[in-house]
Amino acid sequence: MSKLFTPLQIKSVTFRNRITVSPMCQYTSEDGFATDWHLVHLGSRAVGGAGFIISEAAAVSPEGRISPFDLGIWKDAHLEKLQQITSFISAQGTVPGIQLAHAGRKASTNVPWQGRGKVDVEHGGWTVVAPSAIAFSDNYPMPVALDEQGIQKVIDDFRAAAKRSLEAGFKVIEIHSAHGYLLHQFLSPLSNHRTDKYGGTFENRIRLLLEVIAAVQTEWPANLPLIVRISATDWVQGGWHLEESIKLARILQEKDVDLMDVSSGGLSNLQQISTGPGYQLPFASRIKKETGMLTGAVGMITTSIQAETILVNGDADLIIMAREMLRQPYFPLQAAGELNDDIKWPVQYERAK
């Protein structure tokens, strides 16, 4: 059996293999509601054999959406469709996870196929919030700095979203603290200029993330996995960097966080990234090797051999794939063949095995 198809157990949840569908916004919701698109999109990838699917960033509040068309989980009415989706995913043997998110200063923007950039209030946008009143860029909204009451609302919204995630049938929560969204904005000294207990030192900049985790844990059962996505570096001089990520991983382990999903960038448009196959893997590897924390590797992982090599080398524990999964929802079924693993296919598809 290859490493890629060796199951992984975290707490009470067993992942049948290491192939994970990375969260991918579909910008196909109205008022935060999931649709048949989500059922078919996520459902296909469960049929395709993924061990774990992390559904797209679900906003914990309307103002936490990246665009007016984001998925949300801020009210009970959202749950019915999500329950249908998690039930279908689970029935295929795939673990359903949800990414809980707040976009902060990168909220109230256009969908990618309309060119991003801010959506004004008169066109359905809203006032956005952030650690400090510093816009992401010229064509993004100018945020209002959160006061203590606003910070408490963010924490309460994550807590309520965790409760709903459980009711919706998800088995893993991923807290989105990457890609320049709200929690990452607090981590990075480039976007966080606060002088209160949420800004300045490393301990102060990670405070909101830790408070959100603690709030989520009041609702999320201790026997279900809780994971955190981070951007290991801002790729900007003076920004959040790998050594801080390693320090954070040690703290998250103590707080009973099970795995770090290790991405990078998205905080500043000054970032200088050189991409290529597995370009973020060294971050996942360093974090895993220095702290012993389970990690997920993401970023330009596209082949079965590449994925297997990552696991054999002990660089990560989960292989998290986004765009290749859009190109090829049946990647896991195909990868098993390439690695000579005899896995169970959906019976309806067995004649194609």
Ligand X SMILES: Cc1cc2nc3c(=O)[nH]c(=O)nc-3n(C[C@H](O)[C@H](O)[C@H](O)COP(=O)(O)O)c2cc1C
**Residue 332: CB partners within 8 Å, gap ≥ 6?**
17, 19, 48, 49, 50, 51, 343
Q: Which two tokens stand for residue 86?
A: 């998690």
Identify which of 212, 104, 208 has the alpha carbon closest to the alpha carbon of residue 158. Answer: 212
Site for ligand X in 128-167 (CB under 6 A): none
Per DSSP, 118 falls in state B
State the DSSP string of 129-198: EESSS--SSTTSPPPEEP-HHHHHHHHHHHHHHHHHHHHTT-SEEEEEE-TTSHHHHHH-TTT----STT
The DSSP element (H or E) to which 37 belongs, if any, is helix 36-47
Annotated catalytic residue 181: yes
Contact positions with ligand X (CB under 6 A) in 99-118: 99
CA angle 169, 264, 114 (to 5 degrees): 75
Stretch that binds ligand X, among 163-171, 296-304, 328-336, 338-346 (CB under 6 A): 296-304
Q: Strand, coil or helix: what is 98?
A: strand
Piece of the chain touching ligand X by CB under 6 A; list 18-26, 189-197, 235-243, 332-340: 18-26
23 in contact with ligand X (CB under 6 A):
yes
Binding segment for ligand X (CB under 6 A), chosen from 88-96, 161-169, 295-303, 329-337, is 295-303
Q: How far is the CB of 161 from ligand X (least distance, A)?
A: 14
Strands (E), 16-84: 19-21, 52-59
Query: From the list 79, 135, 300, 343, which residue makes contact with ligand X (rule: CB under 6 A)?
Result: 300
Options 181, 198, 279, 349, the catalytic residue: 181
Among 156, 219, 324, 341, binds ligand X (CB under 6 A): 324
Minimal distance, residue 318 CB to ligand X, in Å = 13
Considering the rule CB under 6 A, would residue 53 count as an interface residue with ligand X? no
- Taking CB under 6 A as the criterion, which residues in 160-179 touch ligand X? 176, 178-179
Binding of ligand X by 183 (CB under 6 A): no
Task: Tell me the Ramachandran region of residue 49: left when phi exceeds 0, alpha when psi lies from -120 to 50, beta otherwise.
Answer: left
Cα dihedral 57→19→311→344 (10° resolution): 160
CB 99, min distance to ligand X, A:
6
Among residues 50, 57, 130, 293, which is the contact residue for ligand X, using CB under 6 A? Answer: 57
Size of the site for ligand X (CB under 6 A): 20
Nearer to ligand X, 106 or 286 (CB): 106
Indicate the residue among 159 and 176 with the shorter CB distance to ligand X: 176
For ligand X, the binding residues (CB under 6 A) are 22-25, 56-57, 99, 176, 178-179, 229, 263, 298-301, 321-324
User: Which residues are the active-site residues?
Assistant: 181
